[in-house]
C-alpha cells in the first residue's frame, strides 16, 4: 500500500456469517486499479460471498470495504452511487426478461446516469457491438442463447462506464461451446485495462489474463500470488490438493 490512491478496492478484515455458517473469516484484499484478479477455490469457500460483499449485495458482518476511497455503508445514497461504478456479471445472467437486449442496456443508463434516451441507445449499441451481438438489439433475452445472454449482461454493466467489473462465475451456467465467446469478451476487457475481479474456474483465462490469482478455502485467502506462482509453484498443501483435483483431466 505504498500508493493508497491507486488502490481502487480495499477490503479490510471482512467477516460474514449466514446464521451460524461462517462464509468469510477475516478476509483482507486490496486491488490496484487496472489489475485483473481471478479468485479460485472449492465451492463454499466464500469466493462469491467476497465478491458480493465488495458491492454490498451482502452486508459484511464486520469489516470495511472502500471503493476508490469511499467507505461502503448501508446509506442508500452512497450505495447507489458507488454501485453505479461497479459492474457486476452474474452466473445466471439475470437479464431483465421483459425488456429487449437494448432496453436491458439502456435502463440503468437512463434511470441512474440520467442519460437521454437517444444517448443511452447509442451507448447501448456501442456496447452490444463491443460484445459482438448488435444484431440482437431488439430481441428479448428468452430468444438468446446462454452465451449471448451473458454478453448482453456484460454490455449492460459496461454501459454504465464502471471503474470496476465483478464477475461471479460468468461461464459456469454455459454450455461448453459458448464459454469461449464470453471469455473472449472478458479477455478483451482485461487487455483494455479494466479493473476486474473474477470468480472463475477457467484456468486458461486465469493464465492468460490475470495479474494476480487468489486461492480461497474455508472463508480465508490461502494464497495470493501470480498465476505462474499458483499453477507452477503453489506453497500451501490445500492449494496443491485443489489444483491436483481440477487440473487432473
Partner 1 sequence: MAEQPTDLETRVGPKIEFRGDPFASRLSSFPWWFLGLILIAVWAVFIITTQESYREAFDFIKQGIPVTIYITLISFTLASVIGLMAGLARISRSVVLRNIGTFYIEVIRGIPMLVLIFYLALVAVPSVVDGMNAFGEWLDGNGLGFLGGIFLAIENKNVPLEARAVIALAVTYGAFMAEVFRAGIQSIGRGQMEAARSLGMSYAQSMRYVILPQAVRNILPALGNDFVAMVKDSSLVSVLAVRDITQVARLYAGRSFRFAEAYTIIAVMYLTMVVLLSLLVQLIERRLRANE
Nearer to partner 1, 66 or 96 (CB): 96
CA 189 to chain centre: 12
| SS3 label, residue 64 | strand
Interface with partner 1 in residues 11-70 (CB under 8 A): 55, 57
Piece of the chain touching partner 1 by CB under 8 A; list 118-126, 154-162, 197-205, 210-218: 154-162
Strand partners, 14: 27
For every residue of 80-146, DSSP letters joined together read HHHHTTEEEE-TT----TTS-HHHHHHHHHHHTS---HHHHHHHHHHHHHHTT-GGGTTS-GGGS-H
CB of 91 to partner 1, least distance (A): 9
CB atoms under 10 Å from CB of 243, counted, come to 17
Interface with partner 1 in residues 177-236 (CB under 8 A): none
Nearer to partner 1, 38 or 88 (CB): 88
Provide the residue count of the chain. 249
Determine, following the binding rule CB under 8 A, whether residue 112 of this chain makes contact with partner 1: yes
Q: Which of 96, 132, 180, 224 binds partner 1 (CB under 8 A)?
A: 96
Which of left, alpha, beta for 93 (phi over 0: left; psi -120 to 50: alpha)? left
Piece of the chain touching partner 1 by CB under 8 A; list 60-68, 118-126, 155-163, 199-207: 155-163
CB of 199 to partner 1, least distance (A): 14
CA 227 to chain centre: 18
Determine, following the binding rule CB under 8 A, whether residue 142 of this chain makes contact with partner 1: yes
- Phi/psi for 96 (5° steps) reads -85, 110
The CA distance from 23 to 43, in Å, is 11
CB of 106 to partner 1, least distance (A): 11
**Do 178 and 153 form a contact (C-beta atoms < 8 A)?**
no
Determine, following the binding rule CB under 8 A, whether residue 94 of this chain makes contact with partner 1: yes
Piece of the chain touching partner 1 by CB under 8 A; list 25-33, 63-71, 89-97, 174-182: 89-97
Q: If binding means CB under 8 A, how many residues of this protein chain bind partner 1? A: 28
Determine, following the binding rule CB under 8 A, whether residue 71 of this chain makes contact with partner 1: no
Determine, following the binding rule CB under 8 A, whether residue 108 of this chain makes contact with partner 1: yes
Residue appearing with cell numbers 454501459: 159
Binding site for partner 1 (CB under 8 A): 55, 57, 76, 80-88, 90, 92, 94-98, 107-108, 111-112, 142, 153, 156-157, 160
Amino acid at each position: 500500500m505504498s500508493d493508497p490512491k491507486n488502490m481502487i478496492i480495499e477490503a479490510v478484515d471482512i467477516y460474514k456469517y449466514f446464521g451460524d455458517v461462517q462464509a468469510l473469516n477475516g478476509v483482507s484484499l486490496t486491488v490496484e486499479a487496472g489489475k485483473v484478479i481471478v479468485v479460485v477455490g472449492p465451492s463454499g469457500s466464500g469466493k462469491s460471498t467476497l465478491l458480493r460483499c465488495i458491492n454490498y449485495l451482502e452486508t459484511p458482518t464486520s469489516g470495511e470495504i472502500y471503493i476508490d476511497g469511499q467507505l461502503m455503508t448501508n446509506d442508500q445514497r452512497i450505495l447507489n452511487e458507488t454501485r453505479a461504478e461497479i459492474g457486476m456479471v452474474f452466473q445466471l445472467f439475470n437479464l431483465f426478461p421483459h425488456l429487449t437486449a437494448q432496453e436491458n442496456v439502456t435502463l440503468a443508463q437512463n434511470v441512474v446516469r440520467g442519460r437521454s434516451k437517444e444517448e443511452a441507445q447509442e451507448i447501448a449499441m456501442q456496447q452490444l457491438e463491443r460484445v459482438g451481438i448488435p444484431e440482437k438489439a431488439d430481441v428479448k433475452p428468452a430468444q438468446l442463447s446462454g452465451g449471448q445472454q451473458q454478453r448482453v449482461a456484460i454490455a449492460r454493466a459496461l454501459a454504465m462506464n464502471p471503474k470496476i467489473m465483478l464477475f461471479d462465475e460468468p461461464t459456469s451456467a454455459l454450455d461448453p461451446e459458448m464459454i469461449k465467446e464470453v471469455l473472449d469478451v472478458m479477455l478483451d476487457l482485461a487487455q483494455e485495462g479494466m479493473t476486474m475481479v473474477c470468480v472463475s474456474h477457467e484456468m486458461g483465462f486465469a493464465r492468460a489474463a490475470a495479474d494476480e490469482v487468489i486461492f480461497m478455502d474455508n472463508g480465508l485467502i490461502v494464497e495470493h500470488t501470480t498465476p505462474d506462482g499458483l499453477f507452477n509453484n503453489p506453497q500451501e498443501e490445500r492449494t496443491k490438493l485443489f489444483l491436483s483435483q481440477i487440473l487432473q483431466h
